[in-house]
Amino acid sequence: MLKNYFSNLHVNLIVAAFTKCPLTWRDIDYIPDYNKFYFICDGEGMLKIGDQEFYPKPGQFCLMPAGIKQSYSCISSNTFLKYWCHFTAKIGEVNIFDIIKTPLLIDVKNKSTIESLFRKLIYYYNSSELTSSLYSQSTLTEIIAFFLDSIPKEKIIINSSSTINKLEKILSYIENNICEDINIKQLAEMTNFHPNYFIRFFKKNTGFSPAHYINRLKMEKAKSLLILDDMNITRISETLGFKDIYHFSRTFKNYTGFSPTEYRKVMLRQGD
């Protein structure tokens, strides 16, 4: 389930830097509309996130999620030396850290990796190259992945709310019934929404229309079947709930750039 969330993630870097905090570094009880990462290299200071107060040590990595009351300040002349960035990370219109709950402060084992990633991020943030924004987005995604990979999986929890619970119910149903002919009316009834409202709800929270999302999962399943199973194209089409093999083939080509037969040949040649 979490893998499906992450595959729909869209990130945007606002600012990135490597800074020795001045003695005036202080802000109390503010609520940012962006997320923050701090990787502490040296020094000391105080962070407050919601009701939790932290005193990060060198080698610790801190997440300060958007939309939560926060404070920070120096506590001595030995101020933080830190890599940091401000960013958004959303699925549809929803902050990923509203969907999942993680520890806010973690110990980093491979410090050289995260330092290298932040140096890349800062380079591309300051670069005027045509493709710098693409590289900064990909590097930011790597940093988010590094943060999440550093956390035991059982400590990454899907938040409980009416919206998230409904969305999780729908995504689980789609994933478990991807080989069926799933329709919008059926999904809308599961949430007690009118179909038109359900479409808006789904797109707001995933970034995709329901039909696009369902077809995307079906095509990923089709790719797997074409490589790992010897069933013919007609059978694969039927297995995935398509009533018309031509519709299946057209949808697959729009998604991959290959017809199902071409895709199977290309992928099998690579395995030779």
Q: Give the tens place of pLDDT for each residue, 222-260.
A: 999 998 888 899 999 999 988 889 999 999 999 999 999
In the chain, what percentage of residues exceed pLDDT 70?
A: 97
Average per-residue pLDDT in the chain? 91
Task: Please report the pLDDT score of residue 91 as a whole number.
Answer: 84
Give yes or no for residue 271 having a pLDDT over 60.
no
Task: Please report the pLDDT score of residue 94 as a whole number.
Answer: 83
CA distances from 251 to 8, 185, 245 (A): 20, 21, 10
Domain with CATH 1.10.10.60 in the chain: 162-270
- Reported as a single tens digit per residue, the pLDDT across 22-60 is 999 999 999 999 999 999 999 999 999 999 999 999 999
Task: Please report the pLDDT score of residue 19 as a whole number.
Answer: 96
**DSSP output for the chain:** -HHHHHHT-EEEEEEEEEEE--TT-EEEEE--SSEEEEEEEE---EEEETTEEE---TTEEEEE-TTS-EEEE--SSS--EEEEEEEEEEETTEEHHHHEE--SEEE-S-HHHHHHHHHHHHHHHH---TTHHHHHHHHHHHHHHHHHHTS-GGG-EEPP-HHHHHHHHHHHHHHHTTTS---HHHHHHHHT--HHHHHHHHHHHHSS-HHHHHHHHHHHHHHHHHHH----HHHHHHHTT-S-HHHHHHHHHHHHSS-HHHHHHHHHHHT-
CATH of 2-158, one of 2.60.120.280, 3.10.180.10, 3.30.390.10, 3.40.50.970: 2.60.120.280
**How many Å apart are CA 139 and CA 9, to the nearest integer?**
14
Task: Please report the pLDDT score of residue 1 as a whole number.
Answer: 59
Place of tokens 């790992």: 228
- Reported as a single tens digit per residue, the pLDDT across 206-227 is 888 999 999 989 999 999 999 8
- Any idea which architecture 162-270 has in CATH? Orthogonal Bundle (1.10)
Domain with CATH 2.60.120.280 in the chain: 2-158
